[in-house]
Amino acid sequence: MIWLSSRWKIAIMSAPALIVFTALIVYPVIYSAGYSLTDFAGFGDPAFVGLKNYIDLGNDPFFWSSLRNTIIILVVSLVILVPGSFGLALLLRRRFPGGGALRALVFAPTIIAPILVGLIWVFILDPKIGLLDRLFGALGLPQPEWIGGNILTPYSVALVFIWGSVGFAMTIFYAGLQQLPADILEASSLDGASGWKQLIYITVPLMKESFAIAAVLLITNVFKIFELVFVLTNGGPVHRSETLVSYMYFITFNNQQYGSGMALAVIITVLGAVVSLGYLLLLRGRKSA
Amino acid sequence: MSATTSTLGRRSRRRTGGIVAGIAAYLITFLILLPILWIVLLSFQSSEKILSNPLDLSSLSLLNYVHTITSLPLAQMYGNTILLAVVSVTIGTAISFMVSFALTRMIFRRRRLQSGLRFYLLAGLAVPVYILLFPVYRLDLALGVFGSYAALIIPYVGVSIPFNTLLLTGFLRDLPTEIEEAAIIDGAGLTRLIWSVVLPVMRPVIATVLIFNVVYVFNEFPFASILINNPDMTTVSLAVSQFQGQYSVDYGGMMAAATLVLLPQLVIYAIFQKQVIAGMTAGAVKG
């Protein structure tokens, strides 16, 4: 199509997206990285302070507790979500009446605005008005502080995250199961492999790719958790339940310590990029395999 | 004889297995939907009942809804959000399509530049929006659009480009070019080619892009929370974050408001289910 590809036609087609992308995504990343090296507090000229903001974060106990909470959420969600949603995909792959409708319903929580997901779960986890402690009370069990206490909050956030992601992860596994070569499964069941054996020795190894993709997408999503914490506890009490992103939001927009907030934003971005890079390497491995 | 009974036995075992699996699937789906059903139930209870005995089905009423609809500017919230969604999604999809067409169909003098530019745009997928919040806020101030709808439309367009490009270039790469070549030989110019040949075949993927982006704008909270300071411009997700303060002890009202936001989302999802799922899992399938 060389005759449609004059230089100015290419420019007209590409320029709008490239300009908007550069101005709204690339420039801000550079800008944030630059500001993370200053003491900017919203007024006056930012003064260059080198790596001070990063060093201060290293000495900030709330940074470490928000990192710890993020890691707790990450580990708990992965350990429960990956096998759980894979099992659910296996279950929903079987034929029974209404199966298609069930798959659609299971996905539903994924499309609800995260801010609304948080609000819904306040009415389940809140120690005063929540469903869960009411049930525990009725059964004569202790009524722990699911949110707002000192210990359980990150686990509760993980639970809410799992609820919001289970349909998403299930759909990835379901798509993977649909692409399994039917002849291998058939051959293995003719050879007498049945049930668990087939699952462990045939299906799971063939699904390696889906497992990796689901895991990586879930990890990147955990690094983005913000609204859930914002609504459930707003990071409290005294920042004990912050995640990296919610703490960054607090430093930047509540405390207006823009320099230090941007330093944390850079750290979050680098963590996310490391994971994404792992993802890309993984895909490359897949192509050469 | 024994062979027949064993096949029969196996078949009936398989059937019981199927029934058990079916029941389990229904049960798990019910558990997943329980939180949604719970807030819908609470939305019909008075606040006192929510604290004392929320399961009392005899005291359900529509009072919360009457109160919420009269006190909450629902139409305005939805109007604002729809306006933002329509403008930003139209611009975002249009410019992403244009660049995707250039990157997959047009011939660059330097091939390297072409694949390099695609990679440049796709690298945006790795950028979390949180690092953009403060710079975009400053950019809006500098451009003098802070406090207007443009303050949000601009970043929404920007953020949508990497994902749209991923989907659109992926689709265009797999699409055979014969028909387009035939159209060019028949004398179609660039505009004609795009409007009457390329866009019609791209309908499914464009539908996926549009719906995914609309869902994004409806659910978007971080940008809205920083870039909107005028109560008349409140979006749906921003309003939800204010329910807790607004209805501090009126739990019934809060639940009615939440239900009124939730239900349209679920209805839209029910209608466009296939495209929504395709859009949200596209990253996984396309790589």
Q: Which residues, 6+ apart, have CB-to-CB distance to A16 below 8 Å?
A: B95, B98, B99
Per-position b or e across B27-45, b if 16+ CB within 10 A of its CB? ebbeebeebbebbbbbbbb
Q: Does the structure show a pLDDT above 60 at B245?
A: yes
What ipTM describes this predicted complex?
0.87
- For residues B14 and B155, state if they share a domain: no
B130 and B6 housed in the same domain: no
pLDDT of residue A289: 42
Q: Do B86 and B58 lie in a common domain?
A: no
Nearest CA in chain B to A267: B131
At residue B243, the pLDDT reads: 82
Q: Which of residues 167-206 of A touch B (CB under 8 A)?
A: 167-168, 171-172, 175
Given a contact cutoff of 8 angstroms between Cβ atoms, the answer to whether B284 and B163 are in contact is no
Digit-by-digit pLDDT tens for chain A (289 residues) are: 556 678 888 999 999 999 999 999 999 999 999 999 998 887 778 888 989 999 999 999 999 999 999 999 999 998 999 999 999 999 998 888 888 889 889 999 998 999 999 999 988 998 877 888 888 888 888 878 888 777 888 899 999 999 999 999 999 899 888 888 878 777 877 777 677 788 888 888 888 888 888 888 888 888 889 999 988 888 778 888 899 999 999 999 898 889 999 999 999 988 877 876 776 676 666 554 4
Return the half-sphere exposure (C-beta side, CA atoms, 13 A cut-off) of residue A267: 23
Work out the average pLDDT over B25-49.
90
Give the residue-averaged pLDDT of B34-56.
Answer: 84
Looking at B47, B65, B83, the residue that finishes a domain is B65
B124 and B174 in a single domain? The answer is: yes
Looking at residue B213, what is its pLDDT?
Answer: 92
pLDDT tens-digit series, residues B186-209? 888 888 999 999 999 998 899 889
Residues of A in contact with B278 (CB under 8 A): none
Cβ within 8 Å of B, A 66-85: none
Whole-number pLDDT of residue B13: 62
- pLDDT of residue B7 exceeding 70: no
* Gap from A276 CA to chain B (nearest CA, Å): 6
> What is the CATH number for B77?
1.10.3720.10
Which of B28, B107, B226 is the closest to A253 by Cβ? B226
**Can you list the domains of chain A with their CATH numbers?**
69-242 (1.10.3720.10)
> What's the pLDDT at B6?
54
Structural domains counted in chain B: 2
With an 8 Å Cβ cutoff, is B166 touching chain A?
no
Q: Which pLDDT score, from 0 to 100, does residue B143 have?
A: 93
Q: Which residues of A touch B226 (CB under 8 A)?
A: 253
Residue with tokens 């440049």, as numbered in its chain: B120
Q: Helix/strand/coil (H, E, C) string of chain B?
A: CHHHHHHHHHHHHHHHHHHHHHHHHHHHHHHHHHHHHHHHHHCCCCHHHHHHCCCCHHHCCCHHHHHHHHHCCHHHHHHHHHHHHHHHHHHHHHHHHHHHHHHHHCCCCCHHHHHHHHHHHHHHHHCCHHHCHHHHHHHHHHHCCCCCCHHHHHHHHHHHHHHHHHHHHHHHHHCCCHHHHHHHHCCCCHHHHHHHHHHHHCHHHHHHHHHHHHHHHHHCCHHHHHHCCCHHHCCHHHHHHHHHHHCCCCHHHHHHHHHHHHHHHHHHHHHHHHHHHHHHHHHHHHC
Spatial contact of B90 and B217, defined as CB atoms under 8 Å apart: no
pLDDT of residue A19: 97
Is residue B51 located within the same domain as residue B185? no
Question: Per mean pLDDT, which range of B41-50, B89-98, B192-201, B217-226 is the poorest?
Answer: B41-50
Shared domain for B47 and B154, answered yes or no, is: no
- Cβ pairs bridging A and B (under 8 Å): 266
CA nearest to B204, candidates B249, B156, B168: B168
> Which residues, 6+ apart, have CB-to-CB distance to B72 below 8 Å?
B239, B257, B260
Instruction: Supply A107's token pair.
Output: 């996905």
Q: Are residues B160 and B259 both part of a single domain?
A: yes
Q: Which of B45, B65, B85 is the last residue of a domain?
A: B65
* Closest-CA distance of chain A to residue B59, Å: 18
Instruction: Confirm if B151 and B145 have CB atoms less than 8 A apart.
Output: yes
How far is Cα B157 from Cα B227, in angstroms, rounded to an integer? Answer: 15
Note the pLDDT of residue B19.
84
Phi first, then psi: give them for residue B147, nearest 5 degrees: 95, -5
For residue range B232-242, list pLDDT tens digits in order: 899 988 888 88
pLDDT score recorded for residue B284: 63
- Structural domain boundaries, residue B54: 2-65
Domain boundary among B65, B82, B99: B65
User: pTM value?
Assistant: 0.88
Are B243 and B265 within one domain?
Answer: yes
Same domain? For B46 and B109 the reply is no
Q: Which of these, A229, A240, A249, A211, lies nearest to A117 by C-alpha position?
A: A229
Tell how far CA B64 is from the center of its chain: 28
Q: Are residues B48 and B83 in the same domain?
A: no
A273 touches B: beta carbon within 8 Å: yes
Q: B118-157 pLDDT, tens per residue?
A: 999 988 887 888 899 999 999 999 999 998 999 999 999 9
pLDDT of residue B52: 76
> Would you call A212 an interface residue with chain B, using a CB distance cutoff of 8 Å?
no
**pLDDT greater than 50 at residue B1:** no
Query: Are B9 and B125 found together in one domain?
Result: no
Across the interface, do B280 and A217 touch by the CB < 8 Å criterion?
no
Do both B6 and B106 map to the same domain?
A: no
- Tell me whether residues A163 and B190 touch, CB distance under 8 A: no
* Cβ–Cβ gap A115/B241 under 8 Å: yes
